[in-house]
Structure 1
């Protein structure tokens, strides 16, 4: 019996020793698994001789990679001065479609995005800066690239400021709360016009949470809260009329406007259930 136990112990000891290695100091160490460098999706930024730049996204893996974008903006970049203060942000004066989209990259495939810096930086003074850029895809948003950038500026040229204002026609209820009437208001084109228009025309305590533009700019979805503050049939008509006519007036590509209440439909007002889109060919609250 003791011989059997001794044999089993010897075999077990040999098995353990064969799984280990011995270094030059005589200390036995367990062999570590071989490490392999992980491939991934890489990004890089390069400045061209003409002062513009390119941002490249490349799939370094052996499989397809899906990138998810929360809006129509595929790239963001900023210009920082020597004290790391932000002097320019690409998206600051732009409006992008709020629609989730995906891009599939095949193995070794790359996307090259041009940065039209000579146009975008028209108002920035000449000098030495740091250019920081990153993809807006959810998988790459933390993968920022930066590079030193010498900006020659546009000294002596006639540059049109990007924060210009313009007068637009929007609508409000008349004194009798029976019809909607047009009036002029001034808006800053460097900011989000959809939110500006809503804030201008909204006299009730109703908030525009967000909005989406879909179907090639033909469909506008307004997501609101506080709709229980819309009271009475006349109040509902003015509420609907000011919104619908103001957006159709200023966005000629729109064909349909949808209402949502905190992301849900249909929208229930005091006397009306809004379940269908508003269309351009209809007149909501006699427009004068």
Structure 2
């Protein structure tokens, strides 16, 4: 309800502010509106996504749908922030091998992922979410602070998770 009232007040305010606006005689109103809409559509999009979360028993991952509104360049980070089961930070990421491999560079909080169930849920929610939304991906690799060194026994760091991998939780 608060959002509705806020939106209405914002609309009234914007209409009131626009009345004193100077108009460039060289640009028609239709051209100006078209340019504004075009620039908005080039940067922000509404993209339907299927993401995954762990089930109540931490045995499988379950899909859920969301609509992402934003720039396509921020999609990888959005998926990470929405699905990472632990407070692990994404430092950066790269697509490799003609966009068929995704490498996620994680911070020191990767050490917070504990146990085999924790590792399976962390990896499962992320890789299943990326595979569902980037159909060209064949594998996802976690690295730690830019290193491919294996640092955990319950989570593959430095080695790729593939679509057929059994080292992460699968969807129900």
TM over 0.5: yes
**How do 1:8-87 residues align onto structure 2 when only pairs under 5 Å count?**
none
- Tell me whether 1:190 sits opposite 2:34 in the alignment: no
Return the index of the structure with the highest Cα Rg. Answer: 1
Q: Deviations over 1:227-260 (max 9, x none)?
A: 0110111111001101111101100111121111
- Tell me whether 1:174 sits opposite 2:55 in the alignment: yes
**How do 1:76-155 residues align onto structure 2 when only pairs under 5 Å count?**
154-155=31-32
Residue 164 of structure 1 deviates from its aligned partner by 3.1
Mark the runs of 5 or more structure 2 residues left unpaired by the alignment: 1-22
Residue 118 of structure 2 aligns to a residue whose secondary structure is helix
Structure scoring higher RCO (CA < 8 A, sep ≥ 6) equals: 2
Equivalenced residue count is: 142
Point out the structure with the larger strand share.
1
Please report the TM-score for the alignment, with normalisation by the length of structure 1: 0.44
Point out the structure with the larger helix share.
2
Alpha-carbon distance in structure 2 between the residues aligned to 1:227 and 1:249: 23
**How do 1:265-284 residues align onto structure 2 when only pairs under 5 Å count?**
265-269=148-152, 271-283=154-166, 284=168
Change (3 A) 1:272 1:167: closer
Residue 157 of structure 1 deviates from its aligned partner by 5.0
* RMSD of aligned alpha carbons: 2.7
Alpha carbons 1:217, 1:253 under 8 Å: kept:
yes
Change (3 A) 1:278 1:235: same
Mark the runs of 5 or more structure 1 residues left unpaired by the alignment: 1-125, 129-149
- Tell me whether 1:209 sits opposite 2:127 in the alignment: no
Change (3 A) 1:156 1:251: same
Please report the TM-score for the alignment, with normalisation by the length of structure 2: 0.71
